[in-house]
Structure 1
Amino acid sequence: MKKLDRYIVGKFLTTFFFAIMILAVISCVIDYSEKVDNIVSKKAPLGVVVNYYKNFVPHITALLFPLFIFIATIFFTSKMAYKSEIIAILSSGVSFRRFLRPYVIGGGFLCLVSLVANHWIIPVANKQRIDFENTYINDANFRYAANDMHLGIAKGTYVYLQNFNFTNYMGNRFCVERIEGTLLKEKIMAEYAIYDTVKKTWELHNVMIRTNDSLHEKLVKLPMMEVKYPFSPRDLNKGDAIKEALTTPQLVAYLEAEQLRGQENLNTYLIEKERRTSQPFAGFVLTMIGACIASRKIRGGSGFHLALGIALSAIYIMFQQISNTFATKASLEPLIAVWIPNVIFGVVAYVLYRRQLR
């Protein structure tokens, strides 16, 4: 690295980490003001609260990483342009391509750090953060699920519960269906079911068993039967937060297990897996866009550059939300969905770069 590279990379990283530090402090203050009543009423120890915010900072930082690297790039580059530093650099014979080298170095470094953090470090922090919220913030570790619950426990085998009480491990309107192709081979219905935590079995009460071999149908009624199914009440309580608390190898293993069970609606988990890789590259692409936009000295100065940066950030978030919605609601491939904003903004970055070379 030459002196020019060290100068720009130093400004880049300093501005980025300063912006992230301010974001972290503001976010912690806002979050604490929202949770202080629960923390005081449940008498959370000071050390546990400090550990929670130690894990909260990586979570909020990762959430807004691409946007803050973009704003940081625009801010310090615009300051350099306003002071005519960039004009002096380019007038000395340095090409614009050479001028972008420290941005590539700085953006690449932050991209690598974010990539490692997204896959292994932040999920571990999220697990501790979620455990704290379940213990001291949420009303209970488990919830009374009044809504209908569906769970695939094997290929072609599905469980339905109208509701389940995690206090006494009892659920109402229990139903298990075994389907082969389009044929419903067996359907077990129980008025209520109780999970035995010692035997790890389910006690079904007031049972009706309907079997069908496509030619004959049979109906059997039993007052009670005990069955061992490959799922427990904990599987019924898995919310969307679980995807944030699994490292990527654990998330891959979880997806494989759920697909083996026959679970079909896994797009939110697949989006999370792909997002961990696409997000750092979004930061790199936005770094190039920020450098191309803010390197020209224009009327309006840094204020105009920052306003333009915030507008582009809003457009990026809009594209991200639209593509994610198509993935979860319209069966768009999650890999394509998470990379669409990067591809679009990558094209924008290339067009801006070519304009700077003219």
Structure 2
Amino acid sequence: MSVSVQITQRLGDFALDASFESEGGVTALFGPSGCGKTSVINAIAGLSRPDAGHIRLGDQVLFDGETGVFVPPHKRRIGYVFQEPRLFPHMSVGQNIGYGRPNQLYSTRGDGGLAVLGIEHLMERYPRDLSGGEAQRVAIARALTSQPKVLLMDEPLAALDDARKTDFLPYLQALVAKTSIPVFYVSHAMSEVAQLADHLVVMRDGRVVRSGALAQLLSDPAAISDIGVREAGAILNVTVAQADASDGLSVLATSAGRLFLPKVQAEDGTAMRVRIRASDVILSKDKPDGLSALNILPCTVTQIHEGQGPGVAVALRSGEDALMARITRRSARTMGLTAGLRCYAVIKSVSVAPTDMGGRGTG
């Protein structure tokens, strides 16, 4: 289902001017705190009314500044998951989930939808007896009981530490894979976005500065200044060739070779995404020998982007995948890097964190 947002809104001293379109799947709104991400999804939910523009969900107009259309929140059929679970403390998990109108996915304990979220066994517990991750899963199930046309998620992992985020992400991935509900996911953590999203909307100071397919934007050297130097990189589509290599590593097959990375919790043959940061890629004109690094992929330089500082972003094609390396301008010149040059990308196994592996293959 397509979603079209083009809105302007004055919020005190803050000016929101956001415009983008999404064709369903998971759309991530990414950017630093205070850039307007939550303001956008509040407008989609009907919790605030823009000054001008429009919000369209498929053929339905939720807001139109010219015609005066403004569908109230309770008639939009939109599910909203906040940073905090906001469960009713006096209700059990089952009662919290059943608070909304039951739907086909989440109507009974034995239902497959609850199994995806892994909360079937929690029905009799109360919020005080749940972990942070369990409470958020319950909040998601409750949001889905109203059969929403769209699911809004405002940094649902913000209150979890890294270990619990790693445990929680597979539930979100399974949920996204099972349902066809468009999801708008607000986050300033690229590790989450890279595993979940199909479409990326990058915001700065109330404006959309980049919008497009996630894999294309992350591998675009020109987007580094908007995404952030530390977050810039690329997504590789891989297949688990050997989940347990018996030495703490997994073997993942790419379109150009194999990667040896920290052990993944997946079965052989599973399609996954792996995010490789540009800063973790070293380039060599000749195939290296005698290195401690296990991952060496053949590449072709497709583009070189020079910024204002000493760094250079090098876009690469590795088989059917895009990669990106961030090296110094001096290194690029010494190596004689130009578009079309064949080289090798060297990636340390330990540089790829568990949170950078998972999700669904992007095809």
Greater strand fraction, Structure 1 or Structure 2: 2
Give the number of the structure with larger relative contact order, counting CA–CA contacts within 8 Å between residues 6 or more apart: 1
| TM-score bin, normalised by smaller chain | under 0.3
> What TM-score, normalized by structure 2, do the two folds share?
0.27
Q: Greater CA radius of gyration, 1 or 2?
A: 1
> What TM-score, normalized by structure 1, do the two folds share?
0.27
Greater helix fraction, Structure 1 or Structure 2: 1
